[in-house]
Structure 1
Amino acid sequence: MECSQSGVRIFWSRRSELRPWERALKLEKIEDRFWQELWRLEAPAVVKNFMWKVGNDLLPTKGNLFQKNIVQNPNCPICLQETEDMLHILWSCKSSMAVWQECGKKIQKLALGETDGKGLLQYLMRKLEGEDLLMAIVVSCMIWLRRNAVVFDREFTPPGSLVADAQRVVREFTQPVMSSDLPLRPASGSAVTWTPPRYGTIKINWAAILNHVMKQTGIGVLIRNANGELLATQAKFFSSLMDSSLAAALGAWYAVKLGCDMGAHLEGATLSVVAALKKNGPCGSSFLI
């Protein structure tokens, strides 16, 4: 069989074009690589889940709800002027642009040309890294939470306060752990490493955790004996962000209540307790019974 040189060139030029299934496979690999990079990011789990929803256009924006005939008006609930899609509420709305202007210079200089939420994430991941990238995605998450506060609670967080909250989240997430013996870190900011109580007694520890991303407060209580054996636990979650002192005090109340429910008896000099409570400094997060 003979084949002309021109015929060979035509054959190979056509073969170099990707077939439909090959193009689909290549796009799928690119898609998988994007999600792999996203899940490898050093970020709080709640922020990664938020990014996953953004990348899949799963947030209940007014635009999405309008397409499903759930709401009658697709306009943004903040600016009231444009359709609220993922990109609008997180980036191009005037209220969101005011937030980004409060961020660092690297974020301020970004010029977005994407058309959807996934494009926004890909753009941020291309242009930023490290704490700058973490800051950008945390700010995005908080912009969405602020939007929900406007819709459901009629509350609007100023740009400066929102960025300050995001900076605190990044700072708390990135601060290094200096020891494998993890201490309890109550909301008051003090740290107490657990040590066993004297024989024949039990120790009650409590901690209050403030989640600035989700605007929530968590309280946990542990009761252990002198051998370190766990006798009782309790956890409470509140859908509001409390003052750190209030959260620590509420944790103490739950700790005392759980101890009393187990039949423990509290003893102490009343005057000294009152004097301790009147001090400006934070109270301890453990006590002996």
Structure 2
Amino acid sequence: MDSYCPVCERAEETTYHVLWQCPAARNVWSVGCIKFPKSCLEGPSFLQVVEGMLKSCDQMEFAQFANIARRIWLWRNEMIHGGDFLHPNILIQQATRAVNLFHLVWDEVVLQEFVSDAPTQCNWKNPPIGWFKANWDAGVNQHSGRVGLGVVIRDHQGKMWVAKSMTRLGFLDPTLAETMVVRLCTKMGMKQVQLEGDAKVVVDAVNSLLLDKSATGLLTEDLCIALCSFSSWELGYVRREGNKVAHILASLALQNEMGRVWIYEPPDCIRETLHAEVLALQCMTLKSMKKRFLQNNK
């Protein structure tokens, strides 16, 4: 029946008053983390406040500003029509969750749109933050009597730090070759590392710690001693599909007698595989984050 604000009953209920001047709105803005420029504090309209924010804040801050304004509007409508009073902190938390959820969904949509051919799952599993993962593989050429060795070391984001491709003569036993590759991984200066290969015999031998006097057993025992140089380490078995990069490097070694080492910048032969695994890892991470976010904010 009148134009006065039903919340404070002090001024006319304009958009500027509802979203900015009303004491109820000011209480919400005061507990937020947004820093407002002086030009926004007073003005003839809420539009001027919006224009000032667009000029002075980044995209994330403006998204937060817009969501807080929307929460104030919805909260007033609910309260006027019999809803409960909500503490300003609750409105700020709701706005923050809405912004975070939007970016999670948007990042996933953009990633899927521009990388539509990305694998739906990543067979390579990333190590924990602060750890490195060293994948290794070996291939044997019985005709030439050579063994090709491949090692790749990546961080928790899938970024390659070191890749190595080399060949050796005389090691015709695949178990001996795989053991030698693991030995090489221990010399690359990492303190917390996961060693992973597709030779289950080697992995089981190291993890079992059983006494073995064979040639392979002596190498395994020597390897266990070398692993003690790490502050933390894990040795695990992975199937071939989760060890693609190391397998490609081992195959390359059989084709080229010259050993090669790459630091940070991967060679062409593994670039596409690395890229696909990183994209798949990012997709899985985004989906996992989105799922946890939705579960925690039902």
TM-score over 0.5 for the alignment?
A: no
TM-score, normalized by length of structure 1?
0.37
For the pair shown, which has the larger CA radius of gyration, 1 or 2?
A: 2
Provide TM-score, normalisation by structure 2.
Answer: 0.36
> Relative contact order, CA 8 A, sep 6+: which one is greater?
2
